[in-house]
A and B are shown apart, each in its own frame.
Chain A
Amino acid sequence: MTPPNNPFILADGKKPTCMEMLQVIIDGEASDEQQEYFKNHMDRCLPCFKSYDLDMAIKRLLKTKCCGGDAPTDLVDQIKVQISQNSAS
């Protein structure tokens, strides 16, 4: 049940789904008002409560496991050489 003052309701008046609201929260795109609303919503919506933990855990896992690798050490030098060659020609 979505109260009429749901701050997630868009200009077109469309009622947001749980997953739409959750996504805005997870991605840090929510306003203070939306965050407050969702916090209360989670207290009475078990699927959202579970999905929030899972989605946050996946996001953290992606960040720790899929980035952080360094570019090859010679790449910057190669780019700089190429630029100076292009500038000279």
Chain B
Amino acid sequence: MGLNTILDGYSLLFLLLMEEIVTRQNYSEKEKNEIFNNEFLPHINSMYNFGFRLTLDRDDAKDLVQDTYLKAYRFVESFQKGTNAKAWLFRILKNSFINDYRKKTKEPSKVDYQEVETYYNSEDVNRQITPDLRVESLKDMIGDEISNALNALDVDFRTVIILCDLEGFKYEEMAKILDIPIGTVRSRLHRARNLLKEKLSEYAKSMGYKNTEL
């Protein structure tokens, strides 16, 4: 019986994505459960938030997190105890989102990365994109403005902001989670922040407009 008939297509893809992991551990059932409880489960809130910010749906987020944890348990022998469990889990969730959720919802990536790279290497990067956005106007954004602005970004731009600003991953960790070079992490982050500022600027304008009316 060939390998392809033993493993379903997705499992095979998943194993390929794990290609950088060369050492497989041989954990006992007790050790597996310890890793799961002590290294994986403490990240469940961050994972759920990531799932929600990607799918923008609480039920889908729940499914995605559940699926991620089941895969993490199934492939626990590919995980080395004491290494970066959070980055590993985020990577699995991101892959599940792309391979399962996005396919299901048929939502293609709308980002032209070549355009992003070209933009980043141009003189435009030093341009002050949102001169009217001030720190003071952010202080009035005590509701959902920032959350809505983040959610309105294209998912690939949203993702880098979530990983960097919400979860505090370093560029190198983000590169591994997203399977992209560090240079692309930087350029995508830069573009994402400018887009976020444009959205926040719109909110600031609308808030100012309301204030003058009052």
Q: Which residues of A contact B (CB under 8 A)?
A: 17-20, 23, 27-29, 47, 51, 53-55, 57-59, 61-63, 65-72, 75-76, 78-79, 82-83, 86
Contact = CB atoms under 8 A, between A and B. Distances in A.
A65 to B, nearest CB: 5
B170 A29 contact: yes
Interface stretch (B1-9, B14-22, B41-49, B85-93): B41-49
Contact of A75 (B62, B138, B147, B167): B62
A contact face: mostly helix, strand, loop, or mixed: helix
30 contacts: A19-B126, A19-B190, A23-B186, A23-B189, A27-B170, A27-B171, A28-B170, A29-B170, A53-B135, A54-B197, A58-B165, A58-B197, A61-B138, A61-B146, A63-B166, A65-B146, A65-B147, A66-B146, A66-B147, A66-B162, A67-B166, A68-B49, A69-B49, A70-B48, A75-B44, A75-B48, A82-B66, A82-B70, A83-B69, A86-B70
Interface of B: 36, 41, 44-49, 52-53, 58, 62, 65-66, 69-70, 73-74, 125-126, 128, 133-135, 138, 141, 144, 146-147, 150, 161-162, 164-167, 170-171, 186, 189-190, 193, 196-197, 200
Given A69-B45, A71-B65, A79-B69, A58 B200 contact: yes
Nearest to A70: B45
Given A23-B190, A59-B165, A62-B165, A83 B171 contact: no
Contact of B62 (A47, A57, A72, A82): A72
Query: How would you classify the secondary structure of chain B's contact residues: helix, strand, loop or mixed?
Result: helix
A78 B36 CA distance: 14
A62 B125 contact: no
B166 A69 contact: no
Most buried by B among A23, A62, A69, A82: A62
Contacts of A72: 48, 58, 62
Nearest to A65: B146
The 9 nearest A-B residue pairs measured at CB: A71-B48, A62-B165, A67-B166, A79-B69, A65-B146, A57-B135, A71-B44, A17-B126, A61-B146
Given A19-B125, A67-B49, A83-B70, A76 B166 contact: no
Given A70-B48, A83-B36, A83-B70, 8 more contacts: A17-B126, A47-B126, A58-B165, A62-B146, A62-B165, A65-B147, A78-B66, A82-B70
